[in-house]
Chain A
Amino acid sequence: MSIPISMTVNGKQVSKSCPANRTLGQFIREDLGLTGTHVGCDTSQCGACTVHLNGDAVKACTVLAVQAEGAEVTTIEGIGTKDDLHPMQTAFRACHGLQCGFCTPGMIMTGIDLVNTASRDNVELGEAEIREGLKGNYCRCTGYQNIVRAVATAAQQMED
């Protein structure tokens, strides 16, 4: 059974119908064709599918598309453009915070949420806090060191 849903994705209003059991991740990838959001597991463990739902990071494999009715969704495609990158995107490149690139969109979306949350709660974002904050996202390539550096670098720039 298809259920009509509408939401705002990357600033654009979208209205579609989809089955009730379709995840937000599937909806973004299959129905909207936004393939930057990746699916790396089926147990909400890897974080590759992380997107923002009403400003908070969520794993899109663990939210049903119908639960996002009326919500504002931001994906990796919505945070910056090639010529006007988000500071988190710039920092991942500058710090060599990615190798195969598959976990990267989820890492960037988690990183942005981490910085925003720390800033909102007035928490200092040191290395330990960044490592703690990234532990819902797997990377098998980098050993995390440069990802941690990238988030710290971006945090500085997002504050400035």
Chain B
Amino acid sequence: MVAKNIGEPVLRKEDARFITGKGNYTDDINLRGQAHAFFVRAPVARAMITSLDCSAAEAADGVVAVLTGAQVAEDGLGSLPCGWMVLSKDGSEMKQPPHPPLAADRINYSGEPFAVVIADTLQQARDAAELVEVEFDELDAVVSVADAQSGPQIHPEVPDNTNYDWELGERDETLKAIENAHHVTRLSLVNNRLIPNAIEPRAAIGDYNSGTDEITLYTTSQNPHLARLVLTAFVQLAPEHKLRIIAPDVGGGFGSKIFIYSEETVVAWAARKLDLPIKWTADRSESFLTDAHGRDHVSEAELAMDENGNFLALRVKTLANMGAYLSTFASAVPTYLYGTLLAGQYKTPNVYVEVQAVMTNTAPVDAYRGAGRPEATYLLERIVEIAAQEMNMDPAELRRKNFIQPEDFPYQTPVALEYDIGDYEASLDKALAMADYAGFSARREASVAEGKLRGIGFSCYIEACGLAPSQVAGSLGAGVGLWESGEVRVNPTGSVTVMTGSHSHGQGHETTFAQLVASQLGISIDDVEVIHGDTGKMDFGMGTYGSRSLSVGGSALMKAADKIVAKGKKIAGHLMDAKSEDIDFDDGEFKVRESNLSKTFQEIAFAAYVPHDYPLEELEPGLTEKAFYDPANFTYPAGTHICEVEIDPDTGVTSVVKFTAVDDFGTIINPMIVEGQVHGGIAQGIGQAMLEHGIYDETGQLQTGSFMDYCMPRADDLPNFDVGMTTTVCTHNPVGAKGCGEAGAIGSPPAVINAITNALGVREIDMPATPLNVWQTLQNATHEDARGE
């Protein structure tokens, strides 16, 4: 299976257009005669709309129309649905409030759109929006996740502001084990709210052709087919075959562009209603206010151990903030992408988790890079670190002692997953060596001599990626299948056009997938063109999220390429007067075994399209094959991250002086791209641990609504990262790949916080560990010590 191209750090094909300014992002597209949309948004977090008068706005210069929530309802547009049904402990279905694309009478979060102004120019639309007369009867907002269940009820459909009360694992066994344990480590912790901030803001252009009754929607989507399915089957925007969605170059997503939002829905609807192309591009303030946020959990956990530090049981209770509406995949994130990962890399025999999803008057919360798995990893790797402190054990050795061993695979966890393969000790050992753990105490002494504090922290993470078996997902409430499609279209000259249902928004599919297909067909990657992101071009596909593209989408392409080779053998057999079973395909040539007869891939392609000498009775002409691949299991990337920090105790300024990541992603096609994915993930993880925090005030106003108050890592906030790999090949997909896109963001936050608590000599510090937070924690610890004496 390992062939030429596989494992090579091939430079990216897509770069040629990006480095010359020739990319084609949604906002780069302008349609003849287009109008511009500007959304009118609520300035308050919770209110009734008592009056709305758009007449002055409608009369303003250049205004084509002002459309409102009432008109959306009149036209019969449905609610934006959440696609994953989660059942509560008592078997009842989750409580889902309606989510109208434009609010008609009630406002549930600050920034929620309730009208849209369409005008000839953006400036005119923006100016006219100021003329919309609206009055609100303001209500008390529910903001904090901890207070959500006792606050005023936001939606009539959701009593106690609670969508579900879910559980996983054996409750009684777990509680018994905790009760009888030698030692129980207890921890309360918060997973801070994040705002994704892809650098390209969301955008959409709706275009309607009254002659064909077809809508084309250009939009910044990670999964255009899913968007089409939701907008047609659920929102009833148009029949599915009359809506084409094109997601051209997309400037980063990190989850935030999975979801189906109000704006693209309204723009497509308005384009047909007004028979006019309509364009909308978010400004950054709109991104902050309305892109689905991430994380925002409050949890309590207990880890029980015997006298030797063997883990006996883990119990977790989590409140997860869903925001004002259930976004497209929101319900699955704190349940099936979170609770299922709480066994981590450890042989803990009993795990029990309860999750209550609650609503607040804040922007919807949904999957953000890692989605549930960073929350699980943060909780588990923090409590394990504290357990090591309390048991007076080396944190690396406590982890090692509890690892699932290579001979234990396949390993059934107590929280529903079956890990297929891994070698956690190999990653830990390599990371310890790369991080020079042995030399840490000398480095710490050197720091202390300079008046600084130094700490080291570990994180041994696992994630479930490659979403995943459709039947399993379906049985757990998924509203869609989770396979992927791929097509390998061989052109008559032997070059190849590849269509994939995966979507690249920075991940480099045009290169990785070309390497994969080129190596399967024995041709140059220059002869392979990868096309994605257009429902008018490729078969239905599921898109890109959950580190699934290579393991699922790549596997579909391998299957399609195998079919090409199989058909090629039949054509070659005919041309060389041999049985197809006697043809070998190697390095781009079809050879008759034990002879010197051969045909090139290009000759076979030509023969397929110019079938003058061809077995037409038995074989169709042409050489194009499709495959749909539905995985047999999730994939389980895993690894060890080690962070080392140095802290100035006078200021709290914390420098990450060394960051080591050793990951097992299975088979790697392009190590350059994989390392880049790891770098980016770690940067976002360090951002969460040290800088980023989405904050609302008590009235529901977003306090971190711009790059001036939401602190994302800049070039001088980060060190270089040392990235290493270990490999156990995924046992159940043909590529052998596990996925690499989210690992950095999953593994790094606890490593950073563990390093900081280690340096400060404290048990806990909340994320983000800003200089103020670090300094304050140090002051508190010093005062407590003083009082203790």
Chain A residues within 8 Å of B, Cβ to Cβ = 19, 21, 29-30, 34-43, 45-46, 48, 75-77, 80-82, 85, 89, 92-94, 96, 98-105, 108, 127-128, 130-132, 134-135, 137-148
Contact = CB atoms under 8 A, between A and B. Distances in A.
A103 B680 CA distance: 14
B420 to A, nearest CB: 29
Contacts of B715: 130-132, 134-135, 137, 139, 144, 147-148
Interface string B4-18: 000000011011111
Contacts of B12: 93, 96
Contacts of A143: 679-683, 713, 718, 721, 744
Contact of B20 (A37, A85, A134, A141): A85
7 contacts: A35-B24, A40-B251, A45-B708, A99-B507, A102-B200, A104-B19, A147-B715
B364 interface: no
A75 B506 contact: no
Nearest to B285: A42
Contacts of A85: 19-20
A115 B123 CA distance: 37
Contacts of B672: 96
B283 A42 contact: yes
B21 A35 contact: yes
Nearest to A94: B11
Given A36-B20, A46-B284, A138-B707, 19 more contacts: A41-B707, A43-B708, A77-B20, A80-B20, A81-B20, A92-B19, A94-B11, A96-B12, A100-B199, A100-B200, A102-B199, A104-B18, A127-B720, A131-B715, A140-B197, A140-B680, A142-B683, A143-B681, A144-B683
A141 B680 contact: yes
B32 to A, nearest CB: 13
B474 interface: no
Given A40-B199, A131-B716, A140-B197, A108 B19 contact: yes
A130 B718 CA distance: 12
Contacts of A100: 198-200, 249-252, 505-506
Given A134-B715, A143-B721, A145-B720, A92 B123 contact: no
Contacts of B280: none
Given A96-B12, A99-B680, A100-B198, A141 B506 contact: yes
A107 B170 CA distance: 52
Nearest to B250: A100
Interface string B89-116: 0000000000000000000000000000
Contacts of A42: 283-285, 706
A36 to B, nearest CB: 2
B25 interface: yes
A134 B144 CA distance: 36
Contact of B706 (A30, A45, A102, A134): A45
B260 interface: no
A80 B21 CA distance: 10
Nearest to A48: B199
Contacts of B714: 134-135, 138, 144
A147 B718 CA distance: 12
